[in-house]
Amino acid sequence: DQQVKQNSPSLSVQEGRISILNCDYTNSMFDYFLWYKKYPAEGPTFLISISSIKDKNEDGRFTVFLNKSAKHLSLHIVPSQPGDSAVYFCAAQSNFGNEKLTFGTGTRLTIIP
């Protein structure tokens, strides 16, 4: 039972444009969401997070949007850069970050120069 879903296995975006990565969840107990970036043969690197009491969080080029009613979140990267090419994982936690991470299956983002 996949509680966190990333329905796009891959995404290609032109350098300088906006990258939008999507994530859906089914467990209504999730109240804290994170995005991790992963290069091959490395561990995931934390990017940005959002609590369910917010609907938007920004950090530099990265913005995460949360739509609780739709159980949907998205990561926007503006502008996209070649170094952003990686696999992006959406993750969710319950109990406001106290519990384990439940990961989505990842989206491979390729930035085209």
Name the site residues for another protein (rule: CB under 8 A).
34, 36, 41-46, 49, 89, 91, 96-106
CB-wise, 41 or 70, nearer to another protein?
41
Q: What angle do CA 20, 23, 25 make, to 5 degrees?
A: 160
Closest approach, Cβ 56 to another protein, in A, equals 18
Question: By the 8 A CB rule, do 5 and 104 touch?
Answer: yes
The answer to whether the bond into 40 is cis (omega within 30° of 0) is no
Strand partners, 51: 32
Q: How is residue 109 written in tokens?
A: 């983002």
Closest approach, Cβ 92 to another protein, in A, equals 12
Closest approach, Cβ 110 to another protein, in A, equals 18
Q: How is residue 10 written in tokens?
A: 């891959």
CB-wise, 75 or 104, nearer to another protein?
104
CB-wise, 6 or 80, nearer to another protein?
6
